[in-house]
Structure 1
Amino acid sequence: MSDVRHINALDPGASPLDYYGYELRRHRETAGLTQKQLGAIVNYTGSLVGQVETARKLPTAEFSERVDAALGTGGLLSRLLGLVLRSQLPAWFQQVAELEARATEICTFHTHLVHGLLQTRGYARAVLGAMEVANLDDRTTVRLARQSIFGKQASPVLWAIFGEAALRQEIGGPEVMRTQLRHLLSYTDDPRVNIQVLPFKAGVHAGLQGSFDLFHFTSDPSILYTEGYGTGHPTANPDTVKDCSLRYDHLQAAALSIKDSAQLIRDIMEERYGEHDGVA
């Protein structure tokens, strides 16, 4: 009876997650199925179906695809999923995820961390769990959902410069880091994802003030994004954007070429993890 009260109280306008649950329940009931029956069809428990319907658990891509197929929703839940997951990001970061989704080109510079758009699940989980382990699996799923922009027909071009420290700092243990470095190498032949390393030997460089991202659009002004602890600072101030665009040009000039960057990643994998070929 308590589940029924929770379901009846669900407000589809409260959040994207509530709307997803409302639509799931509506289509399930239209199909004449109980939560348990639908769960059996899609190979999940009826309890999990109920938790998703009452906005107590995040749906996954696999769950959405299976339920769409089972209920004949025409892909509705899968289309809603991106909005649901983006809404679960910290409030101060949601605007950044929207910028990532709209940008035609993203230029990012990080001194000590692989950018979230290129993180593996193990690496992202280790980073997110550094100070807070609550809901870690869900928070990891939400972060990785941002990478769906690369599956779009008009996906953005990504230019990513990492300081060498980001490749040598062991995040999550040897296996997690080995997998992360191998993942970076998987983009070697992808012209839309370009990875360069700023080596230690570069010395003084234009990015010493810290990491930043530049978002470029077809018709809108470019936006600069910098980040602090628990805060983000996007700005379209033309002078600030121009300054950091110039800094990025200098960072690209100081960084290793894409080919030499890939070789350095392979060298680090061999040196630190005994792997002789970074790409399977």
Structure 2
Amino acid sequence: MTHINVLDPGASPLDYYGFELRRHREAAGLTQRQLGDIVNYTGSLVGQIETARKLPTQEFSERVDAALGTGGLLSRLVGLVMRSQLPAWFQQVAELESRAIEICTFQTHMVHGLLQTQAYARAVLGALDDTDLDDRTAVRLARQRIFDKGQPPVLWMVVSEAALRQEVGGAETMREQLVRLLSFEGNRWINVQVLPFSVGVHAGLQGSFNLYRFDRDPSIVYTEGYGSGHPTANPDTVKDCSLRYDHLQAAALSLRESAGLIRRVMEERYGQQPDSGGDPVA
């Protein structure tokens, strides 16, 4: 267990966060318990974060920034902390996501991580390993903060109909996930198109891939295997995948038709759940 007196702020972003949290708390003359009372968390949790044994959340960071008057320091650091907790082979991808002005993704069997709900992400991440599942889920969802930027990237997701029908985490989790996809109707930054079964042979049969486009840098294609990622800026690969993506978008349903299919799958496969007022969730 890390001892607070020997915490090295240069060891990792998580250690640096804990060091700064402790430094500002002590400067304010507060104990861990007192700070916890102010921000509505336990003093034990404050201590665990200070000693790099627990990941901070965005909400925790914002509350502590307000309580200690740190000018948003911890809120700015938490994104770096979360990114550092991603698997080493995936950290470069998170960096690409944060810098891209446009992200085009084709998904064959599941919703892309940038659009996953908490329950869906948790089910995916826990398929074979449920250790530290809360923290791993929080780390994945933290990537979605790129859409909170003043100028977020444009995201296009072409997703196979198979991903809508593959039950991940149970019917309730799938309903929630499909409702999430429908929530982007009319959103000019996030666009969801469904590639229906009826299209037959298509340009994406070799598997899922992402295209990242930047303001000044060359575009990058990213593909993924089990426990490994493969980004490349090779012009021939980028040209080939860009052409494939154009064909996939042309073969996919329109944004409106895609929303209609998502609704039908939600109703037919996962059922409708009434909300508190008795109306069905759409």
Q: TM-score range by the shorter chain?
A: over 0.9
2:63 is matched by which residue type in structure 1?
R
Q: In structure 2, what is the equivalent of residue 29 of structure 1? A: 26
Instruction: Give the Cα–Cα distance (whole angstroms) in 1 for the partners of residues 69 and 188 of structure 2.
Output: 37
Q: In structure 2, what is the equivalent of residue 116 of structure 1? A: 113
Mapped contact 1:11–1:18 kept (Cα < 8 A): yes
Return the offset for 1:279.
5.9
Mapped contact 2:272–2:281 kept (Cα < 8 A): no
Alignment of 1:1-280 (within 5 A): 6-275=3-272
Q: Which runs of 5+ in 1 are unaligned?
A: none
Q: Describe the SS at the equivalent of 2:105.
A: strand
Instruction: Give the Cα–Cα distance (whole angstroms) in 2 for the partners of residues 236 and 279 of structure 1.
Output: 43
2:123 is matched by which residue type in structure 1?
A
2:255 is matched by which residue type in structure 1?
I
1:62 is matched by which residue type in structure 2?
E
Return the offset for 1:111.
0.5
Return the offset for 1:278.
7.9
**Which is further off, 59-68 or 158-167?**
59-68
Runs of 4+ in 1 over 2 A off after TM superposition: 273-280
**Which is further off, 214-223 or 270-279?**
270-279
**Which is further off, 218-227 or 35-44?**
35-44
- Cα RMSD (Å) of the superposition? 1.3
**TM-score if structure 2 supplies the norm length?**
0.96
Q: Describe the SS at the equivalent of 1:160.
A: strand
Mapped contact 1:269–1:278 kept (Cα < 8 A): no
Return the offset for 1:61.
1.1
Mapped contact 2:175–2:266 kept (Cα < 8 A): yes
Instruction: Give the Cα–Cα distance (whole angstroms) in 2 for the partners of residues 226 and 274 of structure 1.
Output: 34
Instruction: Give the Cα–Cα distance (whole angstroms) in 2 for the partners of residues 71 and 30 of structure 1.
Output: 9
Q: In structure 1, what is the equivalent of residue 276 of structure 2? A: none
Instruction: Give the Cα–Cα distance (whole angstroms) in 1 for the partners of residues 265 and 281 of structure 2.
Output: 13
Q: Describe the SS at the equivalent of 2:145.
A: helix
Instruction: Give the Cα–Cα distance (whole angstroms) in 1 for the partners of residues 6 and 143 of structure 2.
Output: 30
Instruction: Give the Cα–Cα distance (whole angstroms) in 1 for the partners of residues 216 and 57 of structure 2.
Output: 34
Return the offset for 1:42.
1.1
Q: Which runs of 5+ in 2 are unaligned?
A: 274-278
Instruction: Give the Cα–Cα distance (whole angstroms) in 2 for the partners of residues 66 and 244 of structure 1.
Output: 44
Mapped contact 1:186–1:279 kept (Cα < 8 A): no
Instruction: Give the Cα–Cα distance (whole angstroms) in 2 for the partners of residues 55 and 22 of structure 1.
Output: 9
Q: Describe the SS at the equivalent of 2:3.
A: helix
1:193 is matched by which residue type in structure 2?
I
Mapped contact 1:266–1:278 kept (Cα < 8 A): no
Q: % of aligned pairs identical?
A: 77
1:178 is matched by which residue type in structure 2?
R
Return closer, same or farther for 1:206/1:278 CA change in 2, 3 Å cut-off.
farther
2:245 is matched by which residue type in structure 1?
Y
**TM-score if structure 1 supplies the norm length?**
0.97
Mapped contact 1:185–1:279 kept (Cα < 8 A): no
1:221 is matched by which residue type in structure 2?
P
Instruction: Give the Cα–Cα distance (whole angstroms) in 2 for the partners of residues 162 and 202 of structure 1.
Output: 13
2:141 is matched by which residue type in structure 1?
L
2:217 is matched by which residue type in structure 1?
D
Instruction: Give the Cα–Cα distance (whole angstroms) in 1 for the partners of residues 129 and 240 of structure 2.
Output: 35
Instruction: Give the Cα–Cα distance (whole angstroms) in 1 for the partners of residues 269 and 215 of structure 2.
Output: 42
1:123 is matched by which residue type in structure 2?
Y
1:240 is matched by which residue type in structure 2?
T
